Amino acid sequence: MKVLQFTIPIPGDKNIIIRHDVLPYFYQYLHRHDEIQLTWIIRGEGTLVVDNNMYPFKPNEIYYIGANLPHVFKSDPAYFSQKSKKTVEAITIHFNPTGKLAGLFDLAEMKHIQTFILKHNNGFMIPPIHVTDVAHKIQIISKSKGVEQMLAFIEILKKFSSIPKLKELSSSSMLETVSENVGVRLSEIYHFIMANYENNITLEDVAQQAHMTPQAFCRYFKKRTHHTFVSFLNEVRINEACKKLTSGDGDSISISTVAYNCGFNTVTHFNRVFKTVVGKSPHEYVDDYFKSTYEIELTP
Protein backbone atom coordinates (compact mmCIF):
# COMPACT_ATOMS: atom_id res chain seq x y z
CA MET A 1 0.00 0.00 0.00
CA LYS A 2 1.01 3.61 -0.55
CA VAL A 3 0.92 6.57 1.84
CA LEU A 4 -2.49 6.05 3.48
CA GLN A 5 -4.08 5.09 0.16
CA PHE A 6 -7.63 6.33 0.56
CA THR A 7 -10.65 5.03 -1.32
CA ILE A 8 -13.15 7.84 -1.81
CA PRO A 9 -16.69 6.45 -1.38
CA ILE A 10 -18.52 6.92 -4.68
CA PRO A 11 -22.29 6.35 -4.80
CA GLY A 12 -23.36 4.22 -7.73
CA ASP A 13 -25.03 7.07 -9.58
CA LYS A 14 -22.33 9.69 -8.93
CA ASN A 15 -19.22 10.54 -10.95
CA ILE A 16 -18.37 13.82 -9.19
CA ILE A 17 -18.05 13.67 -5.40
CA ILE A 18 -18.84 16.83 -3.43
CA ARG A 19 -17.90 17.17 0.23
CA HIS A 20 -18.61 20.18 2.45
CA ASP A 21 -16.63 19.86 5.67
CA VAL A 22 -16.98 21.89 8.86
CA LEU A 23 -14.57 20.39 11.40
CA PRO A 24 -12.35 21.29 14.39
CA TYR A 25 -9.31 20.85 12.12
CA PHE A 26 -8.35 19.26 8.81
CA TYR A 27 -7.40 15.58 8.57
CA GLN A 28 -3.81 15.44 9.80
CA TYR A 29 -2.17 12.50 7.99
CA LEU A 30 -0.41 12.29 4.65
CA HIS A 31 -2.69 10.48 2.24
CA ARG A 32 -3.37 9.96 -1.43
CA HIS A 33 -6.18 8.70 -3.62
CA ASP A 34 -6.89 7.88 -7.26
CA GLU A 35 -9.19 10.89 -7.55
CA ILE A 36 -8.12 14.42 -8.43
CA GLN A 37 -9.00 16.81 -5.60
CA LEU A 38 -10.14 20.42 -5.84
CA THR A 39 -10.37 22.12 -2.42
CA TRP A 40 -11.66 25.59 -1.63
CA ILE A 41 -10.53 26.68 1.85
CA ILE A 42 -13.42 28.73 3.22
CA ARG A 43 -12.17 28.92 6.82
CA GLY A 44 -8.93 27.78 8.41
CA GLU A 45 -5.18 28.37 8.33
CA GLY A 46 -2.21 26.05 8.24
CA THR A 47 0.37 24.45 6.02
CA LEU A 48 -0.30 22.37 2.92
CA VAL A 49 2.26 19.60 2.49
CA VAL A 50 2.44 18.14 -1.03
CA ASP A 51 5.16 15.47 -1.34
CA ASN A 52 8.08 17.24 0.35
CA ASN A 53 6.89 20.77 -0.51
CA MET A 54 5.14 23.14 1.91
CA TYR A 55 2.78 26.06 1.34
CA PRO A 56 0.99 28.24 3.90
CA PHE A 57 -2.76 28.22 3.28
CA LYS A 58 -5.48 30.56 4.49
CA PRO A 59 -9.17 31.29 3.81
CA ASN A 60 -10.36 31.89 0.27
CA GLU A 61 -7.63 29.89 -1.42
CA ILE A 62 -8.24 27.04 -3.87
CA TYR A 63 -5.95 24.08 -4.54
CA TYR A 64 -5.99 21.47 -7.30
CA ILE A 65 -4.23 18.27 -6.20
CA GLY A 66 -3.42 15.62 -8.80
CA ALA A 67 -4.30 11.93 -8.61
CA ASN A 68 -2.20 9.87 -6.17
CA LEU A 69 -0.26 12.94 -5.04
CA PRO A 70 0.62 12.59 -1.31
CA HIS A 71 -0.76 15.58 0.58
CA VAL A 72 -2.14 16.89 3.85
CA PHE A 73 -3.74 20.18 4.88
CA LYS A 74 -2.11 20.57 8.30
CA SER A 75 -4.08 22.98 10.50
CA ASP A 76 -2.18 25.47 12.65
CA PRO A 77 -1.29 24.24 16.17
CA ALA A 78 -3.97 26.45 17.76
CA TYR A 79 -6.67 24.23 16.22
CA PHE A 80 -5.48 21.22 18.22
CA SER A 81 -5.71 22.90 21.62
CA GLN A 82 -8.24 21.28 23.95
CA LYS A 83 -9.72 24.72 24.64
CA SER A 84 -9.87 25.68 20.96
CA LYS A 85 -13.21 26.79 19.59
CA LYS A 86 -11.80 27.22 16.12
CA THR A 87 -13.24 25.35 13.16
CA VAL A 88 -12.23 24.82 9.57
CA GLU A 89 -14.52 24.79 6.56
CA ALA A 90 -13.89 23.65 3.01
CA ILE A 91 -15.70 22.44 -0.07
CA THR A 92 -13.90 19.65 -1.90
CA ILE A 93 -14.61 18.10 -5.27
CA HIS A 94 -13.19 14.66 -6.12
CA PHE A 95 -13.26 13.12 -9.59
CA ASN A 96 -11.40 10.34 -11.39
CA PRO A 97 -10.79 11.02 -15.10
CA THR A 98 -9.65 7.41 -15.62
CA GLY A 99 -12.63 5.87 -13.82
CA LYS A 100 -16.29 6.23 -14.73
CA LEU A 101 -15.55 9.57 -16.39
CA ALA A 102 -12.98 8.07 -18.79
CA GLY A 103 -15.53 7.95 -21.62
CA LEU A 104 -16.20 11.67 -21.25
CA PHE A 105 -12.53 12.60 -21.47
CA ASP A 106 -11.99 10.30 -24.45
CA LEU A 107 -14.37 12.41 -26.54
CA ALA A 108 -12.63 14.42 -29.26
CA GLU A 109 -14.23 17.58 -27.91
CA MET A 110 -12.59 16.97 -24.51
CA LYS A 111 -9.06 16.22 -25.70
CA HIS A 112 -7.83 19.70 -24.82
CA ILE A 113 -9.03 19.30 -21.22
CA GLN A 114 -7.71 15.74 -21.02
CA THR A 115 -4.27 16.99 -22.11
CA PHE A 116 -4.45 19.72 -19.46
CA ILE A 117 -5.24 17.20 -16.72
CA LEU A 118 -2.36 14.93 -17.72
CA LYS A 119 0.02 17.89 -17.84
CA HIS A 120 -0.94 19.20 -14.39
CA ASN A 121 -1.01 16.09 -12.23
CA ASN A 122 1.53 17.71 -9.88
CA GLY A 123 -1.23 20.08 -8.82
CA PHE A 124 -1.45 23.86 -8.61
CA MET A 125 -2.91 26.74 -6.63
CA ILE A 126 -5.55 28.90 -8.29
CA PRO A 127 -4.04 32.39 -8.80
CA PRO A 128 -5.73 34.92 -6.46
CA ILE A 129 -7.13 36.95 -9.36
CA HIS A 130 -9.24 33.92 -10.43
CA VAL A 131 -10.38 32.74 -6.98
CA THR A 132 -13.72 34.59 -6.92
CA ASP A 133 -14.77 33.16 -10.29
CA VAL A 134 -13.61 29.62 -9.50
CA ALA A 135 -15.23 29.70 -6.02
CA HIS A 136 -18.51 30.72 -7.66
CA LYS A 137 -18.24 27.78 -10.09
CA ILE A 138 -17.52 25.40 -7.18
CA GLN A 139 -20.69 26.63 -5.46
CA ILE A 140 -22.70 25.99 -8.62
CA ILE A 141 -21.31 22.44 -8.88
CA SER A 142 -22.01 21.73 -5.19
CA LYS A 143 -25.62 22.92 -5.46
CA SER A 144 -26.44 21.34 -8.84
CA LYS A 145 -27.46 17.84 -9.86
CA GLY A 146 -27.57 15.77 -13.01
CA VAL A 147 -26.84 17.42 -16.32
CA GLU A 148 -26.54 20.89 -14.78
CA GLN A 149 -23.80 19.66 -12.43
CA MET A 150 -21.90 17.96 -15.26
CA LEU A 151 -22.07 21.09 -17.41
CA ALA A 152 -20.80 23.21 -14.51
CA PHE A 153 -18.01 20.68 -13.92
CA ILE A 154 -16.88 20.87 -17.56
CA GLU A 155 -17.05 24.65 -17.35
CA ILE A 156 -14.68 24.78 -14.36
CA LEU A 157 -12.18 22.49 -16.13
CA LYS A 158 -12.42 24.73 -19.17
CA LYS A 159 -11.66 27.68 -16.89
CA PHE A 160 -8.56 25.98 -15.52
CA SER A 161 -7.22 25.21 -18.99
CA SER A 162 -7.46 28.90 -19.89
CA ILE A 163 -5.29 30.11 -16.98
CA PRO A 164 -1.70 30.65 -18.13
CA LYS A 165 1.49 29.73 -16.25
CA LEU A 166 0.04 27.72 -13.38
CA LYS A 167 2.71 27.05 -10.75
CA GLU A 168 3.08 23.37 -9.82
CA LEU A 169 2.73 22.31 -6.19
CA SER A 170 5.19 19.46 -6.71
CA SER A 171 7.94 18.96 -9.26
CA SER A 172 7.88 15.18 -8.83
CA SER A 173 6.55 12.57 -6.44
CA MET A 174 9.30 12.03 -3.85
CA LEU A 175 7.05 9.78 -1.73
CA GLU A 176 5.82 7.31 -4.36
CA THR A 177 7.35 4.27 -2.67
CA VAL A 178 6.60 5.18 0.94
CA SER A 179 4.64 2.48 2.80
CA GLU A 180 1.57 3.18 4.90
CA ASN A 181 3.47 2.70 8.17
CA VAL A 182 6.18 5.11 7.05
CA GLY A 183 3.49 7.57 5.96
CA VAL A 184 1.97 7.54 9.44
CA ARG A 185 5.38 8.01 11.05
CA LEU A 186 6.25 10.93 8.74
CA SER A 187 2.89 12.52 9.53
CA GLU A 188 3.61 12.29 13.25
CA ILE A 189 7.05 13.85 12.72
CA TYR A 190 5.52 16.65 10.62
CA HIS A 191 2.88 17.24 13.27
CA PHE A 192 5.44 17.47 16.08
CA ILE A 193 7.62 19.94 14.18
CA MET A 194 4.67 22.08 13.07
CA ALA A 195 3.27 22.15 16.62
CA ASN A 196 6.60 23.20 18.17
CA TYR A 197 8.32 25.25 15.45
CA GLU A 198 8.39 28.39 17.62
CA ASN A 199 10.39 26.60 20.34
CA ASN A 200 14.05 25.68 20.39
CA ILE A 201 13.46 22.10 19.19
CA THR A 202 16.54 20.05 18.45
CA LEU A 203 17.42 17.06 16.32
CA GLU A 204 17.48 15.00 19.52
CA ASP A 205 13.91 16.11 20.37
CA VAL A 206 12.53 15.00 17.01
CA ALA A 207 14.55 11.78 16.93
CA GLN A 208 13.12 10.91 20.34
CA GLN A 209 9.58 11.44 19.01
CA ALA A 210 10.38 9.04 16.15
CA HIS A 211 11.94 6.54 18.60
CA MET A 212 15.28 6.66 16.79
CA THR A 213 18.81 7.73 17.46
CA PRO A 214 19.68 11.15 15.94
CA GLN A 215 21.95 9.49 13.37
CA ALA A 216 19.30 6.97 12.30
CA PHE A 217 16.65 9.68 12.16
CA CYS A 218 18.82 11.87 9.89
CA ARG A 219 19.27 9.03 7.41
CA TYR A 220 15.59 8.06 7.58
CA PHE A 221 14.23 11.58 7.16
CA LYS A 222 16.60 12.61 4.34
CA LYS A 223 15.96 9.41 2.37
CA ARG A 224 12.19 9.79 2.48
CA THR A 225 11.72 13.56 2.19
CA HIS A 226 14.94 14.82 0.55
CA HIS A 227 15.07 17.31 3.44
CA THR A 228 17.45 17.51 6.36
CA PHE A 229 15.81 18.15 9.72
CA VAL A 230 17.16 21.71 9.72
CA SER A 231 16.00 22.51 6.17
CA PHE A 232 12.51 21.17 6.91
CA LEU A 233 12.29 23.08 10.19
CA ASN A 234 13.45 26.27 8.45
CA GLU A 235 10.78 25.87 5.76
CA VAL A 236 8.08 25.33 8.41
CA ARG A 237 9.23 28.43 10.28
CA ILE A 238 9.43 30.56 7.13
CA ASN A 239 5.97 29.38 6.00
CA GLU A 240 4.60 30.45 9.37
CA ALA A 241 6.48 33.76 9.10
CA CYS A 242 4.91 34.41 5.69
CA LYS A 243 1.44 33.91 7.20
CA LYS A 244 2.19 36.25 10.10
CA LEU A 245 3.78 38.91 7.88
CA THR A 246 0.68 39.07 5.66
CA SER A 247 -1.98 38.77 8.36
CA GLY A 248 -2.23 42.54 8.99
CA ASP A 249 -2.68 45.55 6.75
CA GLY A 250 0.97 45.97 5.88
CA ASP A 251 1.47 49.08 8.06
CA SER A 252 2.15 47.71 11.54
CA ILE A 253 4.12 44.53 10.92
CA SER A 254 7.19 44.01 13.10
CA ILE A 255 9.59 41.73 11.26
CA SER A 256 11.68 41.25 14.39
CA THR A 257 8.63 40.13 16.39
CA VAL A 258 7.68 37.67 13.66
CA ALA A 259 11.24 36.34 13.56
CA TYR A 260 11.34 35.65 17.31
CA ASN A 261 7.81 34.23 17.35
CA CYS A 262 8.78 31.77 14.62
CA GLY A 263 11.73 30.35 16.52
CA PHE A 264 14.66 32.42 15.24
CA ASN A 265 17.14 33.77 17.78
CA THR A 266 18.30 36.72 15.68
CA VAL A 267 16.76 38.88 12.97
CA THR A 268 19.93 38.52 10.89
CA HIS A 269 19.58 34.74 10.82
CA PHE A 270 15.87 35.06 10.06
CA ASN A 271 16.53 37.41 7.12
CA ARG A 272 19.17 35.09 5.70
CA VAL A 273 17.01 31.96 5.94
CA PHE A 274 13.94 33.83 4.66
CA LYS A 275 15.77 34.92 1.50
CA THR A 276 17.11 31.40 0.94
CA VAL A 277 13.64 29.84 1.18
CA VAL A 278 11.48 32.55 -0.42
CA GLY A 279 13.96 34.17 -2.79
CA LYS A 280 13.43 37.69 -1.45
CA SER A 281 13.84 39.57 1.82
CA PRO A 282 10.96 39.83 4.33
CA HIS A 283 10.51 43.53 3.44
CA GLU A 284 10.36 42.72 -0.28
CA TYR A 285 7.94 39.85 0.35
CA VAL A 286 5.56 42.04 2.36
CA ASP A 287 5.72 44.90 -0.17
CA ASP A 288 5.07 42.57 -3.11
CA TYR A 289 2.24 40.80 -1.30
CA PHE A 290 0.25 43.90 -0.40
CA LYS A 291 0.96 45.50 -3.77
CA SER A 292 -0.44 42.48 -5.61
CA THR A 293 -3.42 42.30 -3.23
CA TYR A 294 -4.22 45.95 -3.89
CA GLU A 295 -3.99 45.42 -7.65
CA ILE A 296 -6.32 42.40 -7.47
CA GLU A 297 -8.91 44.42 -5.52
CA LEU A 298 -8.82 47.10 -8.22
CA THR A 299 -9.34 44.56 -11.02
CA PRO A 300 -12.92 44.82 -12.27
pLDDT tens, position by position, 208-265: 988 899 999 999 888 877 789 999 899 889 888 888 887 764 445 689 999 999 999 9
Phi, psi of 256 (to 5 degrees): -65, -40
| Strand, helix or coil for residue 77 | helix
Q: How confident is the model at residue 296 (pLDDT cuts 50, 70, 90)?
A: very low
- Pairing assessment for the beta strands 5-6 and 32-33 based on DSSP bridges: parallel
Nearest Cα residue to 114 out of 138, 91, 98:
98
Lowest mean pLDDT among 28-32, 93-97, 110-114, 210-214: 28-32
The Cα 278–Cα 266 span in angstroms is 18
Residue 6 has pLDDT above 60, yes or no: no
Number of H helices, E strands in the chain: 11, 10
Q: How far is Cα 37 from Cα 248, in angstroms, rounded to an integer?
A: 30
* pLDDT greater at residue 29 or residue 270: 270
Superfamily of domain 5-161: Regulatory protein AraC (2.60.120.280)
Strands of the sheet with 53-57, listed across from one edge: 53-57, 46-50, 71-75
Strand (E) or helix (H) holding 221: helix 214-225
Tell me the average pLDDT across 136-159.
95
pLDDT (tens digit per residue) in 159-213: 999 999 898 898 755 444 555 566 667 778 888 888 888 899 999 999 998 889 9
The beta-strand segments (E) located in 44-190 are 46-50, 53-57, 61-65, 71-75, 88-95, 124-125
CATH architecture of 197-296: Orthogonal Bundle (1.10)
Class of residue 223 by CB neighbours under 10 A (exposed 0-12, middle 13-18, buried 19+):
exposed
In the three-class reduction of DSSP (H, G, I as helix; E, B as strand; rest coil), residue 284 is classed as helix
Calculate the dihedral angle through the C-alpha atoms of 266, 271, 277, 280, rounding to the nearest 10 degrees: 170
- The ranges assigned to domains in the chain are 5-161, 197-296
Distance CA 53, CA 26 (A): 18
Reported as a pLDDT band with limits 50, 70 and 90, residue 22 is very high
Same fold, 5-161 and 197-296: no
Q: For the chain, first and last CA: distance in Å?
A: 48
Q: Which residue, 93, 115, 100, 95, is CA-closest to 34? A: 95
Helix (H, G, I), strand (E, B) or coil at 279: coil
Q: Please tell me which residue, 17 or 180, carries the higher pLDDT value.
A: 17
Q: What is the pLDDT of residue 297?
A: 46
Tell me the Cα Rg of the chain: 20
Question: Tell me, what's the pLDDT at 36?
Answer: 94
pLDDT, averaged across the chain = 85
pTM of this prediction exceeds 0.75: no
